[in-house]
Amino acid sequence: MKSLHHFPLLFLVFSLALATCSSADSHEDFLDCLSSYHPEESSSISRVVYTERNSSYSVILESSIQNQRFSMPSTPKPLVIVTPLNTSHVQTTVRCSKRHGLQIRTRSGGHDFEGLSYVSDVPFVVVDLFQIRSVDVDVENREAWVQSGAITGELYYRINERATNLTFPGAVCHTVGIGGLISGGGYGLLFRKYGLAGDNVIDARLVDVNGRVLDRRSMGEDLFWAIRGGGGGSFGIVLSWKVKLVPIPSTVTVFTVGRTLEQNATQLLHRWQYVAPNLPNDVYSLISISTTNSTETGNRTVLVTFISVFQGSANELMPLMQERFPELGLVRENLIEMTWIESIIFLNRLPNETPEILLNRTYRNTLLSPAFKAKSDYVRKPMPEIALQGLWSQLLEDVATTATMNIVSFGGEMDEIPESALPFPHRKGTLYGIDYNIGWQEEENNNSQRYIDWIRKVYRYMGAFVSKSPREAYVNYRDLDIGRNNDDGKTSYTQASVWGRKYFNKNFDSHEDFLDCLSSYHPEESSSISRVVYTERNSSYSAILESSIQNRRFSTPSTLKPLVIVTPLNTSHVQTTVHCSKRHGLQIRTRSGGHDFEGLSYVSDVPFVVVDLSQFRSIDVDVENREAWVQSGAITGELYYIINERTTNLTFPGALCHTMGFGGLISGGGYGLLFRKYGLVGIM
């Protein structure tokens, strides 16, 4: 299985702070670099570079900010915005940013919930891809090349121009950038039938940390896997994607039916949890929860709106809903037939608009408030009615008038695709995903904390009813509350795993798969090797780790710990550990006596395994031939003792310190009391 910790260098360049010089110096040097890197293109690239001295700077920066929470005077601004026109502009920006210690933020549609595509706390450059958005549709082969700066609406429109019976399984919101959508996996109207957007990518072109342009073949399958769900801005700048187009019928059917608490909304939502994940793959089922004034009492009440898009006619959908969900009380008048492209317009609340509205990337979605805070969850067991009732009381608080919850049913094809197919792990067993959102007007930004406090309180309340160990979250609904990287670029694997496992579950690391590999590589030895494998869940883990740490400088709570310790008993155990570490991308640290002055035999900055040779220390002395076989886990004192047991007139010219591990001693040459007479240990 692949894992997201395989790419530390790329991740550092594009997502963590590299700034090592003053922002003023790096700023000017960066601009000089841009114009001089390819002198023949200096006039070309100068037309797409904006600093705060340019009159267009603010307009371009604001153009794609979808969350006005990050459009305040106090919000950090980029030193430079680059709006590349071609691949060379992107390559030059990457190389110059790296050379001059500037962080890169990449923006396609600007929908990052935490503004991370255009905000940073260290000196940074925004690469805004809005001018790299071509769409090339190949109807015959049911494929398309789409550049990352295109919005999903543009892709839908261009496909629809060429063929009304094909589309791409992308997002519902038409202004979401293709680059951001796919980089987080991406789900929408068709994901229950065709999987995620990332599941339908065939190839990609990416500019890596060194400015090289890579396609699927040259980047390799591991990186190709990571860019389709591992999170935007982490592994390079993806220029374009080759995607599969999928068939759609000439008619789809939609319905939107609202029910208040007085109309049994609680009972209907409770029942929906059992029905929706098991509906046919052709049904997309969404619930939107908000508050409204009751038509019966005039008081605020909770409104639960049931929304579905069915790939087929009303005559097909009506009997299906009557059979599966009669409690909803759906009638034929609730069903509206339309084309697939019209259903996108309908769900984006764009009544009376033509498909051309999908080309409008600056359209402000009325589904979201100008400024907002959002969080996400996944549910694997239906919530009881009493839990829903507890939720309603919080939604009816005065601060929550603009709060919404969107609940999207999973199941269908998502149950059939393995969790490890992409970094996006929320597959089989997921009943539905939840998006919590609370918004406010831009002028309320200075008083936004009360809204943020409310959504955090709701999130805490929901903890008892959603996925656990980890509590899962959707990386495209980024939430810095669950964790973030350090601004100085020195984020440990242990620290990153707090949020990494929420977004990516087992795909964040290959710890569990490594353990599976150990037990399955030689099935006949699985019980044997299991006795010498220790993780942090084992009570003996800490004792074994500490047993040979000779430098307590590397025994602090902040010291990075191995995912697994293996204490092999035989050669096969070592072979299996090496093989499985290589297969699952884990570094190996080998320890014999633990005397490494910098702790490198048991410490690493990347996910690693310690092979501790403390049980691998037999000594076989051949007095007659003046030879001995000694295993690497023995300490020099053991060798001296065993030789002395057999003969008092022979020894080995080893180290003076008797606890020095034999493997470490010889691997560094090694000298001791007798080296002036017999040379180094390694010579012997």
Greater confidence (370 vs 16) lies with: 370
124 pLDDT exceeds 80? yes
- Sign, CA dihedral 48-49-52-54, equals negative
Two tokens, residue 27: 């700023």
Q: Where do we find the tokens 């789900």?
A: 187
The pLDDT, as a whole number, for residue 54 is 93
- Sign, CA dihedral 78-82-83-84, equals negative
Question: Cβ contacts of residue 211 below 8 Å, gap of 6+?
Answer: 91, 92, 94, 95, 98
The pLDDT, as a whole number, for residue 559 is 83
Give the span between the Cα atoms of 64 and 331, in whole angstroms. Answer: 41
Greater confidence (669 vs 394) lies with: 394
Give the span between the Cα atoms of 212 and 153, in whole angstroms. Answer: 30
User: How far apart, in Å, do the first and last CA atoms of the chain sit?
Assistant: 43
Nearest to 609 by CA among 558, 566, 575: 566
Highest mean pLDDT among 139-153, 365-379, 668-682: 139-153
Pairing of strands 166-167, 143-147: unpaired
% of the chain surpassing 90 pLDDT: 68
Greater confidence (462 vs 505) lies with: 462
% of the chain surpassing 70 pLDDT: 92
As a whole number, mean pLDDT of residues 412-418 equals 96
| Residue 477 bears catalytic tag | yes
The pLDDT, as a whole number, for residue 235 is 87
Judge whether 436 and 459 are in contact, CB under 8 Å.
yes
State the pLDDT confidence band at 471, using cuts at 50, 70 and 90.
very high
State the pLDDT confidence band at 596, using cuts at 50, 70 and 90.
confident
The pLDDT, as a whole number, for residue 85 is 95
439 pLDDT exceeds 80? yes
Give the span between the Cα atoms of 64 and 130, in whole angstroms. Answer: 9
9 pLDDT exceeds 50? no
The pLDDT, as a whole number, for residue 367 is 63
Coil/strand/helix, residue 517:
helix
Q: Per mean pLDDT, which range of 147-161, 173-187, 500-514, 661-675 is the poorest?
A: 500-514
Q: Mean pLDDT, the chain, as a whole number?
A: 90
Give the span between the Cα atoms of 438 and 194, in whole angstroms. Answer: 31
Count of alpha carbons within 13 Å of 266, Cβ hemisphere only?
13
Give the span between the Cα atoms of 198 and 177, in whole angstroms. Answer: 13
Greater confidence (628 vs 317) lies with: 317
Give the span between the Cα atoms of 416 and 281, in whole angstroms. Answer: 11
Coil/strand/helix, residue 340:
helix
366 pLDDT exceeds 80? no
Give, as one character, the DSSP assignment of residue 298.
S
Q: What are phi and psi of 644, to 5 degrees?
A: -65, -30
Greater confidence (35 vs 281) lies with: 281
Q: Which residues pair with 379 in a beta bridge?
A: 432
Q: Where do we find the tokens 């929470």?
A: 69
Greater confidence (559 vs 406) lies with: 406
Q: Per mean pLDDT, which range of 65-74, 318-327, 654-663 is the poorest?
A: 654-663
464 pLDDT exceeds 80? yes
Judge whether 233 and 179 are in contact, CB under 8 Å.
no
As a whole number, mean pLDDT of residues 522-547 equals 80
The pLDDT, as a whole number, for residue 13 is 36
State the pLDDT confidence band at 385, using cuts at 50, 70 and 90.
very high
Give, as one character, the DSSP assignment of residue 382.
P
375 pLDDT exceeds 90? yes
Q: CA triplet 345, 350, 352: central angle to 5 degrees?
A: 95
Judge whether 216 and 120 are in contact, CB under 8 Å.
no
Q: 451, 477, 503, 671: which is the annotated catalytic residue?
A: 477
As a whole number, mean pLDDT of residues 333-359 equals 94
Query: With 0-12 CB in 10 A as exposed, 13-18 as middle and 19+ as buried, what is 212?
Result: middle
684 pLDDT exceeds 80? no
266 pLDDT exceeds 60? yes
527 pLDDT exceeds 50? yes
Highest mean pLDDT among 361-370, 519-528, 596-605: 596-605
What is the DSSP secondary-structure string of 342-365?
HHHHHHTT-TT--GGGGG-TTPPP
Alpha carbon distances (Å) from 561 to 2, 508, 555, 602 = 21, 16, 9, 8
The pLDDT, as a whole number, for residue 557 is 78
Greater confidence (484 vs 242) lies with: 242
The pLDDT, as a whole number, for residue 14 is 44
Q: What are phi and psi of 661, to 5 degrees?
A: -70, 140
297 pLDDT exceeds 80? no
The pLDDT, as a whole number, for residue 536 is 78
Question: Cβ contacts of residue 111 below 8 Å, gap of 6+?
Answer: 66, 173, 175, 176, 177, 180
